[in-house]
Every structure is written in structure tokens, then in C-alpha cells.
Amino acid sequence: MLSGKGCFVTDINLYVSKENLDKYIPLLDEIPSDRVGIFNLDVAKTVALSLTVWKSYLEDAHLFVKYFNTAGFDPSVIEDLPARAGALWYADISLQQLSSKKSDDLDIKREAALLKKEFQSAAEYLWSDSEEISPIIAKIKSGAGQVDAGDDLVQYSHLFKTNWELANGRCAITLHHLEQALELGTKMVEIAGNLSHLQGERERNIRNRAGQHLKNGINYIRRAAAYIFEDQDISKRYPSLYQKQSQSFKS
């Protein structure tokens, strides 16, 4: 039997892993879609509540055995609760990391767009009348989409590098800008090539299902506890996910 807040933190961390979450993926996928809503509860509080329920069950396990005598109650559900909690926690962490990456990608896109405008303005200023270079500029400008935006920066970098003697000192573009264009251009092509938007939907769906799986376990044990302690208030030892505050538990 566990005791003390520190023990719970240590134990739950054993389950906050990709391996633990992957173990549940088949079970999560089996939950009917109409029974899975958006998980909008606080993950940390939900995990903490599940561990309170788990601890109370460990202390009252003999009563569950006495009243149910292995019939009508599956103890594996509550024994599995820490692992379910760890799966939800890891799914939430994964979704947050993906959201952070998307935010970083957005910053890169903004920076790339500003740099492209700077190159475009300088190129038109320098070579709008050049029969040789102006068609190249027009072709670069015709691009659309993230892949083209990345490729445009790479092409501008190459164009200015090739004609550096004509550009150096006559516009705001520097050698640093050429290196920056190559770097941002490559990143833009990588961003356009990944499937982060699809991955985000999958990660969000897994989090919702992991949350539902944990809620199912909590509700299962609470229903059983309500049967055992039928004339008592169980909200403190077996709290609800939706109660505003714990009430006293009569022993």
C-alpha cells in the first residue's frame, strides 16, 4: 500500500511513457466514437484524483472482495488505474509538444515571408530592366504555397550570390541574408513536407480517448464504492471528476 504524496508522484512517473501509452492504443481505438468527447478537464487534477481513488481502493480492497466476492466487479480496472493515468499524461505531453512545434513553425513562416519580400524588393530594384535576370525574378514571384516559398528563398539566395558583384553595396541585402535565406528556405520545405496537421488530429484524438479511458475507470470504481457504502458520502475517498469540493467521508 502506498502512502504520502511523494510516492504517488514517483509511481505515476513510471507510467508516463510512450511505451505505456502504446500499450493502450488498441484499447483506445476500440472505444466507440460516440462515447468519446473532447477531454476538457485539467489533466494534472484528473490524474491526482484517479490516484486518490486508487489509494482508497487499495485500503478498502477487502471490502470489495467481501461484498462482490469476485462476482460483478472486475478488480483489474482499478489496479490498472495508475497506468491509465500515465497514458493520459503522456498523451497530453505529446499534444503540447506538437502544439509548441507548430508555434515554432509559424514563427519560421513569418520570418521567411518577411525575408522573401526583402529579397524581392531588392531584386526588382536592381534588375527590373535586365533582360537576363528579370524573367528569373518573375518566375520566382509566380510561386505559391509553402514549398514554393522555401524554394523561392533558395533561388533568391542563389541569384544574389551569382550576381553578387552587381548587388553588393547597392541594396540592403548582405551575405548574412544569403545564408539566412538558404536556412529558412530549407526549413520551409521541411515544414511543407511533413504531415503535422494530420499528426495533430491523431494526437488530439488519442488524448481524448485516453482521457475517456481513465474517466471510465474512475467512474467504474465509484459506482462499486457507492454500492458498498450505500448510506455514506463517498465523495472524499472516492471523489467525482465534476464535484466542486470534497465532502466528509463517514467511517
Q: Give the per-residue pLDDT at 143.
A: 65
Q: Residue 199's closest CA among 85, 97, 88?
A: 97
Task: Taking residues 40-45, report their average pLDDT.
Answer: 89
Rounded mean pLDDT of 71-77? Answer: 77
What cell numbers appear for 95 in the block?
A: 499534444
Residue 157 CA to residue 178 CA, distance in Å, equals 5
Chain position carrying cell 520545405: 189
E-strand ranges in the chain read none
User: Residue 29 pLDDT more than 60?
Assistant: yes
Query: What separation, in Å, do the N-terminal and C-terminal C-alpha atoms of the chain show?
Result: 19
Model confidence pLDDT, tens digit, residues 75-103: 778 778 999 999 999 999 888 877 666 66
pTM comes to 0.60
Per-domain boundaries in the chain: 7-98+198-228, 122-195
Q: What percentage of the chain carries pLDDT values higher than 70?
A: 83
Beta carbons within 8 Å of 180's beta carbon, 6+ residues apart: 115
Q: What is the DSSP letter of 1?
A: -
pLDDT in tens, 138-165: 988 886 555 577 889 999 999 999 999 9
pLDDT the model gives residue 206: 92
